[in-house]
Chain A
Amino acid sequence: MADLSVDLCGIRLDNPVIPASGTFGYGYEFADYYDIDCLGTFSFKGTTRQPRFGNPQPRIAECTGGMLNAVGLQNPGVDRVISEELPRLAKVFHKPVMANVSGFSVEDYAYTCRKLDEQPQVGWLEVNISCPNVHGGGMIFGTDPDAASSVVRAVKAVTAKPVIVKLTPNVTDIVAMARACEAAGADGISLINTLQAMRIDLRTRRPLLANITGGLSGPAVFPVALRMVYQVSRAVRIPVVGMGGVSSAEDVIEMMLAGASAVEVGAANLADPFACRDIIAALPGTMEKYGIQDLRDIIGGAHG
């Protein structure tokens, strides 16, 4: 019997498959479609200190092999996430959840993380310093190692839960960013967030997204993500959660060979609501095909 379980920062996952933030809402709605307890865990919608409507329409565009989004961190704010969303989730999901947090200042991050730290449902804090679609925040913290360090230190000071820092690929040196986060006390790194991108409408000759630019995700970005996961996991000692275009059990295994301890699945959930369920179901057969008994054995297997 294949062993799909992995460890993520001291918490056991039944399998490495984690729906990525922004593609799975607060989870409970997917429970209408399948039993979400089959997941390793999931990362809930990026949550901020204050409620946010997000960006104007249109927010979504398509491209070959993927999509662009400029949702802009729409969320009801941390207080309502705690009072409304998490209680709904508790009825249908019985595992620790990953809380995804975004902010516009170091204080914002600390405030939101402190509140979520008090929630027993939350297993990990995934600190998003990489949203490409909000102005004056988000990705700013993810492109400067010193700014990233200050966020990580502030968050670590207010929580005992594992802190996973989600990195943007929109940097010249991803390894330097990861090392800065590790040195500041991060318990894990997740990558990649979306790649900054755009489309133009030929009829109107204007950018298709109201925000002009958006974040590219989907199968088109998988090789880029894989390369960054490989580089980062070789450079840090803390676990790496790989994501970016993963849409099959083969992709999960490839990501783990590159160095991922667990794997997030994003855009695939939007094209197919059953994507994560089906990837998990396909993992044992795919492991058998490639002679894998225990997924933990293959983490970083390609490092040589």
Chain B
Amino acid sequence: MEQGIFTVIENAPIAPGTYRMVLACDTPPVTAPGQFVNIRLPGLFLRRPISVCDAEGDRLTLLYKTVGRGTEQMAAMEPGQTLEMLTGLGNGFTLADGGKTPLLVGGGVGAAPLYLLAKKLVAGGARPHVALGFNRADEVFYTERFAALGADVTVATADGSVGVKGLVTDAMAELSYSYVYACGPEAMLRAVWERTEGDGQFSFEARMGCGFGACMGCTRETVNGPRRVCRDGPVFRKEEILWRT
């Protein structure tokens, strides 16, 4: 974990209610894809954890959905404004297990950390397939960017307005893959988990207090006992995950 002041370079919507913020930083904000930053916002007591979409040189990219006061405040920020944040939080995805043709499954803004993951996997010689699920065509984002990395891309929309009609798990059925990486809402993660026959890694969301392992606010039960999503996760291996009944 590092602490830094970041300057907003770009901040604009990429889909209704979903924003892309690019920031300039002094220190590399991640050591692995799947990590997150925890952002201090004026007037709010707790920080806002946001997963890292991309980190390249002195640029950090975050994708976020406006769901409450914190993200709405972020959406109103202009280039040149600064944010204090803690970076390099959590255990990210492990690349070594992915094999030659890993499948990356994202739901909504859960696609964000898969971007840096796909980039690293391609750099390591793999050919990832990215399957992204959205509600409607106008909510779709980043498909061209994933393709530009050299990944194959499949989109599913709940209303069928683009790509496969249905859930992202319906798109999975057609694909063959060496490994699964997933990030999205818990219901999606569970559906992907149930459909995954091989191994995989799953990145979870949680309501956090501190974001760095102190408060036990985001604990979930696992095969290995209670684990903090912020510090022991947010990425967990398939075999250690337990679902709430």
Q: Which residues does A use to contact B, with CB under 8 Å?
A: 22-25, 29-30, 32-33, 45, 53-54, 56-67, 69, 71, 74, 218-219, 267, 269-274
Contact = CB atoms under 8 A, between A and B. Distances in A.
B213 A29 contact: yes
Contacts of B231: 29
Nearest to B47: A271
7 contacts: A23-B215, A54-B219, A59-B209, A59-B216, A60-B209, A69-B209, A269-B210
Contacts of B214: 23-25, 29-30, 269-270, 273
Contacts of B218: 57, 59-60
Contacts of A274: 3
Contacts of B226: 53-54, 74
A210 to B, nearest CB: 10
Interface residues of B, number: 26
Interface in B196-223: 206-210, 212-221
B111 interface: no
Contacts of B217: 59-60, 69, 71
A71 B216 contact: yes
A33 B219 contact: no
B1 interface: yes
Interface stretch (B15-23, B38-46, B75-83, B171-179): B38-46
B207 A267 contact: no
A60 B215 contact: yes
Contacts of A23: 210, 214-215
B86 interface: yes
A60 B208 contact: yes
Contacts of A63: 45
Contacts of B244: 56
Given A74-B219, A267-B45, A270-B209, 16 more contacts: A23-B214, A57-B218, A59-B209, A59-B218, A60-B46, A60-B209, A60-B215, A65-B45, A67-B46, A71-B217, A71-B219, A269-B210, A270-B214, A270-B215, A271-B47, A271-B210
Nearest to B43: A64
A59 B46 CA distance: 14
B86 to A, nearest CB: 7
Nearest to B231: A29
Contacts of A57: 206-207, 218-220
A117 to B, nearest CB: 25
Contacts of B47: 271
Contacts of A271: 40, 45-47, 210
A231 to B, nearest CB: 27
Contact of A60 (B1, B207, B221): B207
A62 B3 contact: no
Contacts of B44: 62
A56 B76 CA distance: 34
Contacts of A29: 212-214, 231
Given A57-B220, A60-B207, A273-B86, A218 B215 contact: no
B1 A273 contact: yes
- Please name the 8 residue pairs, one residue from A and one from B, whose CB atoms are nearest each other, closest first: A270-B210, A60-B217, A58-B207, A60-B209, A74-B216, A59-B217, A71-B216, A62-B46
B209 A67 contact: yes
Nearest to B69: A62
A74 B220 CA distance: 11
A218 B86 CA distance: 20
A273 B209 CA distance: 12
Contacts of B207: 57-61
A67 B45 contact: yes
Which among B86, B206, B214 has the greatest number of chain A C-beta atoms within 10 A? Answer: B214
Which among B44, B86, B210, B218 has the greatest number of chain A C-beta atoms within 10 A? Answer: B210
Nearest to A65: B45
A32 B46 contact: no
Nearest to A52: B226
A273 B215 contact: no
A63 B209 CA distance: 12
A33 B1 contact: yes
A188 B198 CA distance: 57
Nearest to B212: A273
A63 B46 CA distance: 9
Contacts of A24: 214
Nearest to A59: B217
Interface in B46-66: 46-47
Contacts of A30: 214
Contacts of A64: 45
A273 B40 CA distance: 12
Interface string B1-23: 10100000000000000000000
B215 A71 contact: yes
A209 B231 CA distance: 21
A304 to B, nearest CB: 34
Interface string B176-205: 000000000000000000000000000000
